[in-house]
């Protein structure tokens, strides 16, 4: 089965998780890079505002077409109880290309349920979901086996 891991990460926490998932299943990996700058304190504030309004932002060109894969793993951090809007922008840009998806989210502590529901509204019902706190990812305190099966 051919898999693609697609993620957005502002602080490299979600990136670390995405790389671990891709490594475990030998998947291709695609980082979503928005043309909007979300770095630093101003970027953090902009990200929260953009997430709340579900603002669609322009993305840098992508390498992979989701149509070429059997399963797509989609990941992002939770911003203001929503999925980070660069991932929402990716879903809009690739509308209709997702049949088998698995969602993974990272957050300081909460907002997972509403983020998963939001992602589902832009794609399809996921095969599985994975919610991990920043602390769990930093300490490698998680098991991917049930998520990857």
In this prediction, residue 147 carries a pLDDT of 97
pLDDT digits (tens, 9 = 90+) for 36-55: 999 999 999 999 999 999 99
Residue 1 banded pLDDT, cuts 50, 70, 90: confident
Whether 46 and 101 have beta carbons less than 8 Å apart is answered as no
Q: Convert the pLDDT of each residue in 99-135 to its tens digit.
A: 899 999 999 988 899 999 999 999 989 999 999 999 9
* CATH code for residues 3-148: 3.40.50.360
Tokens of 41: 């304190």
Beta bridge partners of 29: 5
Structure tokens that stand for 146 in this block: 């049930």
Phi first, then psi, for residue 23 (nearest 5°) are -65, -40
d(CA 7, CA 17): 9
Residue 80: per-residue pLDDT: 92
Identify the band that residue 137 occupies on the pLDDT scale cut at 50, 70 and 90. very high
pLDDT tens digit sequence for 63-106: 999 999 999 999 999 999 999 999 999 999 999 998 899 999 99
């Amino acid at each position: 089965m051919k898999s693609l891991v697609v993620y957005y990460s502002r602080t490299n926490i979600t990136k670390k998780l995405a790389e671990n998932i891709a490594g475990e299943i030998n998947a291709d990996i695609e980082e979503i890079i928005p043309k909007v700058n979300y770095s630093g304190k101003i970027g953090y504030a902009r990200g929260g505002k953009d997430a709340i309004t579900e603002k669609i932002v322009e993305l840098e060109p992508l390498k992979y077409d989701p149509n070429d894969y059997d399963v797509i793993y989609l990941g992002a951090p939770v911003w203001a109880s929503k999925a980070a809007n660069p991932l929402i922008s990716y879903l809009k840009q690739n509308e209709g290309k997702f049949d088998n998806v698995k969602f993974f989210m990272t957050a300081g502590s909460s907002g997972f349920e509403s983020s998963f529901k939001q992602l589902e509204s832009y794609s399809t019902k996921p095969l599985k979901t994975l919610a991990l706190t920043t602390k769990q990812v930093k300490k490698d305190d998680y098991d991917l086996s049930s998520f990857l099966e």
